C-alpha cells in the first residue's frame, strides 16, 4: 500500500525550461510534505517543504504547490539547470508521529544542456 506515489519514474527537460515533478498521497492525515534531492552515491539532501496550512512555498528557483483536496503536490524548478539532474523524492509526514516520513519511489530528472 503506497501512501506516497510518484508516478513518473523519469523526466527530461531542456536547460532554462521549467521542470515539474508531481507527487500524490493517499493518507489524509499527512500534514507536512518535503522534497529531497539525491545524487548518485550520496545521501538525500533536503530541498524544500510545505505545511498543510499553506498551498505554496517558494525558495529561489524552487516552488512547491500543495492541493489538499486533490491530495497532490508538485515541485517546480525554474529555470532548470544541468546541475539539477538528480533523483527527486517526495516525502510526507504526520504531526505527532515522531517526525517519521513516508517516501515516494522518486523521479529521475535529467536537464539537458
Residue 69 binds another protein (CB under 8 A): no
Instruction: By CB under 8 A, name the one of 11, 32, 71, 79 that touches another protein.
Output: 32
Give CA–CA dist 85/57, Å, rounded: 21
Query: Which segment (11-19, 35-43, 61-69, 73-81) binds another protein by CB under 8 A?
Result: 35-43
Beta-carbon contacts of 101 under 8 Å, excluding residues fewer than 6 positions away, are 34, 91, 92, 93
Stretch 72-101 residues interacting with another protein (CB under 8 A): 89, 93, 98-101
Task: For the chain, count helices (H), then strands (E).
Answer: 0, 11
Residue 11 binds another protein (CB under 8 A): no
- Please give the grid coordinates belonging to residue 89: 523524492
Residue 60 binds another protein (CB under 8 A): no
Amino acid at each position: 500500500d503506497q501512501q506516497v506515489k510518484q508516478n513518473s519514474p523519469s523526466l527530461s527537460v531542456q536547460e532554462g525550461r521549467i521542470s515539474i515533478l508531481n507527487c500524490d498521497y493517499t493518507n489524509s492525515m499527512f500534514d507536512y510534505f518535503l522534497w529531497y534531492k539525491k545524487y548518485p552515491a550520496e545521501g538525500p539532501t533536503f530541498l524544500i517543504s510545505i505545511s498543510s496550512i499553506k498551498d505554496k512555498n517558494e525558495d529561489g528557483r524552487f516552488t512547491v504547490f500543495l492541493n489538499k483536496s486533490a491530495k497532490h503536490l508538485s515541485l517546480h524548478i525554474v529555470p532548470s539547470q544541468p546541475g539539477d539532474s538528480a533523483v527527486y523524492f517526495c516525502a510526507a509526514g504526520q504531526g505527532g508521529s515522531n517526525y517519521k516520513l513516508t517516501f515516494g519511489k522518486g523521479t529521475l530528472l535529467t536537464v539537458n544542456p
